[in-house]
Structure 1
Amino acid sequence: MIAGLELGGTKCVAVLGSENGDIRARETTPTSDPVRTLAALEAVLDRWQFDALGVASFGPLELDPVSPEFGSISVTPKPGWSGTDLTRRFATRYGKPLAIQTDVIGAALAEERWGAAQGLASHCYITIGTGVGVGLISGGQPVQGAAHSEAGHMRVRRAPSDGFAGFCPFHGDCVEGLISGPAIAKRFGRPAQELSDDDPQWDTFVHDLTALLHNLVVTAAPERIAIGGGVMASREHLFRKLRVALAASIGGYGSLARYAEQLSHRLGPPGLGTSAGPMGAIAIGLQALDKAGR
């Protein structure tokens, strides 16, 4: 049995499951300060019997294994969470194989094991919620250099006459600062869930998200791109607009012309739906178990 923790900006989910993706238990707690939040999660884990633990967390995370801060949250706009250690306290408390990754890489790994990315060596999971995160898998491995990817903070060309300053405290009008849940509420005067499906504000959202997708495609050409998170969870009608806009942005260029013709199956919601995130923590825990040779 694998225990998984998905730490999000709004809520945290603890799950208990098996290697075939069968979830046996699931509990949710609000994300408040780290002391209360982690204590609540430990209270759940203390009741479960498990063989390994996977942590899929919002970031930024320190994932350099030689760093003394490995397994900690680094500088984040989430109040009180900067510098919070996640791995040492759980490893000490439970003495089980443990692995940590970003929440979006976790979701991508879950899609690869049980979802719509099965059999694919390159694919991508994007979450749009409290923040914007991009988890890119290439050659069957998470893409990571000196630090993990922060493609949700890339800057993109703005729509004509769009003067919104952006909501990101670090970059202003990066993608997260333009289309995350809090950015939408600030930009359009009401939260995403209050916008009707035919609200013209979604055209601005699609413009900015398409720019992110264009950059991912011309950089890595993932075999599939899944977009999840709270903003997109109930807005599947936007995928049609995104496919049309992305194909137009690719513009029939070279080897990507055929890619643009295949967007109906290359770009869509996660196969696991809203379970991709929690299942990602299970996928990470399975990696810890495999590494331990058990």
Structure 2
Amino acid sequence: MTEKLLGSIEAGGTKFVCGVGNDELKIIERVSFPTTTPEETMALVIGFFKKYNLKAIGIGSFGPIDIHKDSPTYGHITSTPKLAWQDYDFVGAMKKEFDLPIAFTTDVNAAAYGEYVSGNGKGSSSCVYYTIGTGVGAGAIQDGHFVEGFSHPEMGHMIVKRHSNDKFKGSCPFHSDCLEGMAAGPAIEKRAGKKGQDLSEEDLIWDIEAYYIAQAAYNTTLMLAPDVIIFGGGVMKQRHMLVKVHREFEKLINGYVKTPPLKDYLVTPKLEDDPGTIGCLALAKKELENS
């Protein structure tokens, strides 16, 4: 008999990354499709998974999304700026094709869960995961459960204190100079006139960037005091960034609380590019066990 497998969907604003793995969370195949319209993208997603004998699927989606199972719009992408996806019934569309347990959460929650079960959050009671890329988002986990209430957290839109040398007005269409508006990849590009990957390590923009990311770590530390804070996303692939963030964080915290050693406390993902896929597979496995 063909082995029954787990499915993973990382639904991002730019691309959908779909994966298939086994119970040990080993990735067997992974593909990506452009995020265009639901009709186009979902046809490719469904076609990919039809090749496999699946037993559960985990979805980590861009948002905002409705995470409450007793809500009439549970499983929907709600007020996203991507107009074609507004009020889209993501889980419903998948259920029509696959009569399986389906876990549904945010893309950053999924990445947080991946690091929690297999990465730099493994063995801890709590962790927070930030992605700093095209946008900024974060997920928090306490004792294996996501920290959420009426909705999921939107920590990427926290208000940050402006760097004294930063004249950039901010790129968030909702809040202008929130964390995402000042620190996401598009903010770096608009500020510099070119992509971050084309800037030298010595460019002063990285000091400004580190200041905003350190504020996210500072605020998270004082509000949640997690065991570890993990910074992923394309911006954090600049290996010099973590040292700068450590330096700025030490200035901000100013000895007020004693954290774990910064090399263990403010880190990048152990799973590198895999936290979201591993997290979705793990959530699919958990959903199956609870169904």
TM-score (norm 1): 0.94
Structure 1 residues 130, 136: CA separation in 2 closer, same or farther (over 3 Å shift)? same
Distance of 1:230 and 1:38 partners within structure 2? 25
**Match of residue 58, structure 1, among 55, 62, 71:** 62
Matched, 1:239 2:238: no
Please list every run of 5 or more consecutive structure 1 residues that lacks an aligned counterpart in the other structure.
none
Whether 1:250 aligns to 2:253 is: yes
Counterparts of 1:174 and 1:103 in 2: how far apart (Å)? 20
2:83 maps to what in 1? 79
1:45 maps to 49
Deviation string, structure 1 residues 29-76 (Cα, Å, up to 9, x no partner): 111222211111111111111100110111111112221111111111
Select which of 4, 25, 28 maps to 2:8: 4
Residue of structure 2 equivalent to 1:283: 282
* 1:172 equivalent in structure 2: 176
In structure 2, distance between residues paired with 1:55 and 1:245: 35
Q: Measure, in 2, the Cα distance between the counterparts of 1:198 and 1:52.
A: 47
Q: Could you tell me which amino acid in structure 2 is paired with residue 178 of structure 1?
A: M
Aligned residues: 287
The 1-side partners of 2:85 and 2:200 are apart by 34
Partners of 2:126 and 2:142 within 8 A in 1: yes
Shift in Å, 1:86: 0.6
Q: CA–CA distance in 2 between the matches of 1:19 and 1:229?
A: 26
Superimposed CA distance per residue, residues 96-126 of structure 1 (whole angstroms, 9 cap, x where no aligned partner): 1111011111111111211111111110111
- State whether residues 62 and 72 of structure 1, in contact with CA within 8 Å, keep that contact through their aligned partners in structure 2: yes
The TM-score normalised by the length of structure 2 is: 0.95
Quote the residue 1:23 is aligned against. 27
1:130 aligns with 2:134: yes
Aligned sequence identity (%)? 37
- Per mean C-alpha deviation after superposition, the further-off stretch among 158-167 and 236-245 is 158-167
- Tell me if the contact between 1:129 and 1:180 (Cα under 8 Å) persists in the aligned partners: yes
Counterpart position of 2:211 = 207
Provide the rounded CA distance (Å) in 2 between the counterparts of 1:231 and 1:32: 24
Structure 2 unmatched ranges of 5 or more: none
Report if aligned partners of 1:128, 1:229 keep a CA contact under 8 Å in 2: yes
Provide the aligned C-alpha RMSD in A.
Answer: 1.2
The list of structure 1 runs, each at least 4 consecutive aligned residues, that deviate by more than 4 angstroms after superposition, is none
Distance 2:247 2:207 in 1: 12
